[in-house]
Structure formats: C-alpha cells, structure tokens
C-alpha cells in the first residue's frame, strides 16, 4: 500500500468540520474545570480537617492516573449514575445505555481539569506574599475584601498566562475520547480510516489539522497577549 495524496485530501476535508466542535468542547471543559478548580483551591487553602485530605487524595489520583484509564472507569460508571437523574429530568425512563458518551466525556474532563487547575491555582494563590494580605487587613479590610481585592487579582495575573498552555493540553486530551465514540479531531480521522479501510493517509491528514490549528491558536494568543500588555502599560 502506497501513500495516496487524494485520500489524504479527502480525509482532511472530512476532519475539518470536527475542528470547531473540538475547539469549543475543549474550551467548555477547561473553563468549567477552572471554575471548579478555583473553588477547590480556595477550599484546600482553608485547610478543612476532613475536606482537605479528601480533596488532596482525589487530586493526586486524577493527576497520576492516565486519562485513558479514567475514561474507561467513567464510561462504565457515569451512565449508571446519570440515568436516574436524566430519567427524573425527562419524565421518562432513560436507560444507562441511552446516556450519550458526550455526558460522560464532558463530566470526566471537567473533573480531570479541575484537579489540575486546583493545583495550578493553589500555587498561584500561595505565590502572593502573605504581607499583601496582612497589609490589606491593617488598613481595615475584612478578610473577604482582602482576598477579593488584594490577593485574587495578583494570583490571577500569575495564573492567566498558564491557561493557554492548559488549553492546548485540553484540546489534545480530547483525542482519547475516540475510545468512547465522542467525535473530535482525532476520532474523525479514525472514523474516516475505518470508512475507507486505509490507515496511512487519514492520520497524516489529522496531524496536519492539529498542527495548523495549534499554529493558528498560538499566533492568535500571542497577538492577544501583546495587545493586552500594551493596554496594561497605557492604563
């Protein structure tokens, strides 16, 4: 079997419609993960006697176990947990096998990114010198005000630039959902490979799609960053 450039071109066209879907799904799961992770980071800094160790164990598990293993575990548990909830919401019986793998994929990756982001954000919060908080208290701010107006903005400036790197990770991590039939940029190539029974060209086309997408996203991010820096200086 030789390399057929026409197959690669048609695979490329087949994969393209999956790009916006994947870009949005990655943004959604990472965004939700960041919100949840921020909550967990604040809770863990609070050093609750029971919550802190429980969350620490969960974060350690999620960060240590390969995503593919977590996907399989989620695939065989989440539908059983969601089916009763969806049944109640829909008012009709929903069987576990009717629960779309998209639900499982979304829920899994939100929790996955939340674990990573909780550590990322916790590190940023801890990087703000304690004196900042104490100074805010000494001028009569309440603890809540000191956190909201003094500590959080400084932590945000540390953590914001890391989100783009994490976004690219989130985009790539979705590829593994092909194992549970969620169609992203990688799955599309895999499906096309099965459709035409050729495995050489579709993956090459897919590599091209990923590469171009990441180059475009990175260029866009750098432009945004440059304009924000300019505005920051002007203000």
Partner 1 sequence: MLSFDPSYFLAVFPQIAAALPFTFYVVAAAAAMSLLAGAAVAAVRIARVPVLYALCEVWLSFVRSMPFVLLLFLMYFTVPAFLRAAGLDTSRLPKEVYVFAAVVFGFAPVIGEVIRPAYLSVDRGQHDAARAFGFSDFDRIFRIIVPQMIPVAAPPLMNQVIEIVKDTSLMYLIGLMDLMGRANLLIHVNMGRGKLENYAAVALLYWVLVAVLEAAAQYLSRRSSGGFPGGAS
Q: Evaluate whether 102 touches 111 at the Cβ level (below 8 Å).
A: no
Closer residue to partner 1 in complex, CB, 70/100: 70
Closer residue to partner 1 in complex, CB, 120/152: 120
Site string for partner 1, 147-186 (x = CB under 8 A): ---------------------x---xxxxx-x-------x
How many chain residues interact with partner 1 (CB under 8 A)?
42
Closer residue to partner 1 in complex, CB, 150/182: 182
**Half-sphere exposure of 109 toward its Cβ, with a 13 Å CA cutoff?**
26
Residues 6+ apart with CB under 8 A from 153: none
Residues 6+ apart with CB under 8 A from 146: 133, 136, 137
Q: Is 1 helix (H, G, I), strand (E, B) or coil?
A: coil
DSSP H or E segment with residue 190: helix 185-196
Does position 115 interact with partner 1 (CB under 8 A)? The reply is no
Q: Evaluate whether 235 touches 228 at the Cβ level (below 8 Å).
A: no
Q: How remote is the C-alpha of 230 from its chain's centroid?
A: 28
Whole-number minimum distance, CB 63 to partner 1, in Å?
8
- Contacts to partner 1 from residues 61-100, by CB under 8 A: 61, 63-70, 72-73, 76-77, 80-81, 96
Figure out which of the listed residues 102, 163, 203, 221 binds partner 1, where binding follows CB under 8 A.
203
- Contacts to partner 1 from residues 206-225, by CB under 8 A: 206-207, 210-211, 213-215
Burial category of 179 from C-beta neighbours within 10 Å (exposed 0-12, middle 13-18, buried 19 and up): middle
Site for partner 1, rule CB under 8 A: 1-3, 60-61, 63-70, 72-73, 76-77, 80-81, 96, 168, 172-176, 178, 186, 189, 193, 199-201, 203-204, 206-207, 210-211, 213-215
């Amino acid at each position: 079997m030789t390399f057929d450039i026409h197959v690669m071109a048609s695979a490329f066209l087949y994969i393209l419609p999956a790009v916006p879907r994947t870009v949005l799904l990655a943004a959604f799961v990472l965004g939700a993960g960041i919100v949840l992770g921020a909550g967990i980071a604040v809770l863990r800094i609070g050093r609750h006697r029971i919550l802190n160790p429980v969350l620490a164990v969960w974060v350690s598990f999620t960060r240590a176990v390969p995503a593919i293993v977590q996907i399989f575990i989620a695939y065989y548990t989440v539908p059983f947990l969601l089916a009763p909830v969806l049944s109640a919401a829909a008012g009709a019986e929903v069987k576990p096998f009717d629960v779309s793998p998209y639900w499982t994929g979304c829920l899994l990756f939100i929790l996955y990114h939340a674990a990573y982001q909780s550590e990322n954000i916790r590190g940023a919060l801890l990087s703000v010198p304690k004196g900042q908080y104490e100074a805010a208290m000494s001028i009569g701010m309440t603890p809540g005000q000191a956190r909201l107006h003094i500590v959080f903005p400084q932590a945000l400036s540390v953590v914001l630039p890391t989100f783009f790197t994490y976004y690219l990770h989130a985009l790539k991590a979705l590829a593994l959902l092909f194992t549970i039939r969620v169609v992203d940029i990688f799955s599309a190539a895999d499906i096309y490979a099965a459709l035409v029974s050729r495995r050489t060209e579709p993956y090459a086309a897919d590599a091209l799609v990923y590469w171009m997408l990441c180059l475009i996203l990175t260029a866009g991010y750098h432009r945004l960053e440059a304009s924000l820096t300019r505005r920051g200086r002007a203000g």
